[in-house]
Amino acid sequence: MGLRAALADWWRRLLPEKSLGRRGEDAAARYLKRLGYKILGRHVVLPSGELDLVALDGRTIVFVEVKTREGDQHGGPSDAVTPAKQRRLTRLAVTFLKRYGLHDYPARFDVVAIVWPPGGKPRIEHLRNAFDALGRGEFYS
């Protein structure tokens, strides 16, 4: 193995490639920033789970679920945001709003669905106000 190959191998091990999901969340955050959103939090960990992105769109707090897939042959990425997932996201959003004293602000749920084929460019679909709050602890959108 030559010096160049050894250095390339060392570099790959030092900085492993980001997972598809992490790359998708990075792309979604960049996309939303270009639309004028302010990213308040990424990978927000709460006792009962994690929110992908929390953003501010004007005065509205937006809870963004990011779904990234390599292809859409088994349905689009947004299909993975099932009613059960929506209920879980609602509970997390209520917890977030209570924790930071933000329950007086309007809030909504967006989904950013990304299809990112290997070696290709990502195709981003933004579903604004993708679903209403579900389950106990519902809030307005």
Q: What average pLDDT is seen over the chain?
A: 86
Is residue 13, in this structure, part of any structural domain at all?
no
Three-state DSSP class for residue 34: helix
Look up the pTM and report it: 0.81
Question: Rounded CA gap, 83 and 131, in Å?
Answer: 9
In a domain, 44, yes or no: yes
Tens of pLDDT, residues 16-28: 556 877 889 999 9
Which residues lie closer than 8 Å to 140 by C-beta, 6 or more apart?
106, 107, 133
- Domain residues for 94? 18-131
pLDDT score at 79: 77
* CATH code, domain carrying 108: 3.40.1350.10
The CA distances from residue 110 to 10, 17, 22, 32, 125, in Å, are: 39, 27, 18, 11, 11
Do the Cβ atoms of 132 and 111 come closer than 8 Å? Answer: no
Q: What is the CA radius of gyration of the chain?
A: 18
Whether residue 9 is contained in a domain is answered as no
Within a domain: 61: yes
Upper half-sphere CA count for residue 91 (Cβ side, 13 Å):
13
Binned average pLDDT, 10 residues per bin, the chain of 141 residues: 69 61 91 97 93 97 93 72 91 94 94 89 93 68 41
What are the two backbone dihedrals, phi and then psi, of residue 104, each rounded to the nearest 5 degrees? -85, -10
Instruction: Please check whether residue 1 lies inside any domain of the structure.
Output: no
Residue 136 forms part of a structural domain: no
Query: What pLDDT, on a 0 to 100 scale, did the predictor assign at position 1?
Result: 63
Q: Residue 88 in 3-state DSSP?
A: helix
| Interatomic CA distance for residues 30 and 20, integer angstroms | 15
pLDDT of residue 21: 79
Q: How many domains does the chain have?
A: 1
Residues in the chain: 141
